[in-house]
Structure 1
Amino acid sequence: MRHSTRTTPVVRTRKPSLLSRLTRPRPATATRAPRARRTYGRKPRTVLNAPATTTVTHHHRRKPSMGDRISGALLKLKGTLTGRPGQKAAGTRRMRGTDGRGAHSHVGSTTTTTTTRRRRW
C-alpha cells in the first residue's frame, strides 16, 4: 500500500455567495453620456414627466364579495373545461368586480315597497 505525501497544501476556493457578490465593492467607472432610448415603433416621449393631455377613463369596479370570487372562479373553470372563452371571461369579470352588477340604480321607478311584519305561525 502506497501513501502519497504532498508537500504543498491543497487550497480549495468556494464560489462566492450571493450576498458577498451583491455587497462587494465596485470599481469606479468613468461616467459617460446616457444612451438614447429606442422606441421600437412607439411614439417617442418629448418631455419626461409631462402631464397627460388626454384624460384616461377609469373603469368602475365594485368590491367583490367572497361569494362573487368563488362564483367567478367556478364560472371561469366551467368556461375553461367547456371551451367557451366568453364564459371564462365572464368569470374573470365577476372575480374582479367589473361585471357591472350593482351599477344600474332604479331612480325612475314608481313602485314603492312597503314593509310588512312577518307572521309567525
Structure 2
Amino acid sequence: MTTIVIVSHSKDIANGTKDLLNQMANGVPVIAQGGVEGNIGTSYDHIQTLVNELEDDALCFYDIGSAEMNLDLAIEMYTGNYQIEKVDAPIVEGSFTAAVKLSVGGSIEDAIADLNKTFG
C-alpha cells in the first residue's frame, strides 16, 4: 500500500487536502502535517518523525519553501525500508491525481507515471 503525505505551512491546507482525498479516494491512507504549534510554518523535526514512522511506501507533497527543504532533508536522512518519494506537483491537484490512481489499484510507480505525464 502507498500513503499520501501532505506537508504544508498551514494546518488548514494540510487537513483540508486530506479531507478532500479521503472523500474522493476512499481507502488511500493520507497523513497531513501542517503548521507549527498553531502557527504558519514547517518543522524539520515534525517532518522527520512523520517520515520515520511511515509503515508503507509514500508519495510526499509539499507547498512552498521550507516545506520542500525540510522534506528533502527528512527523506535524505530516512534509513527505513520503504520507498519514500517527494513529488514536484501542486499539493492539491497532484495529491488528488495520485490518490485516485492508488484508489483504483495503481502502484506507486503507476501514480508517479501519471503525475509525470500530468505535471512533468
Shorter chain as denominator, the TM-score bin is under 0.3
Where relative contact order (Cα < 8 A, 6+ residues apart) is larger, the structure is 2
Comparing both structures, which one devotes a greater share of its residues to strand? 2
Structure 2 length normalisation: TM-score? 0.20
Comparing both structures, which one devotes a greater share of its residues to helix? 2
Structure 1 length normalisation: TM-score? 0.20
**Is the radius of gyration larger for structure 1 or structure 2?**
1
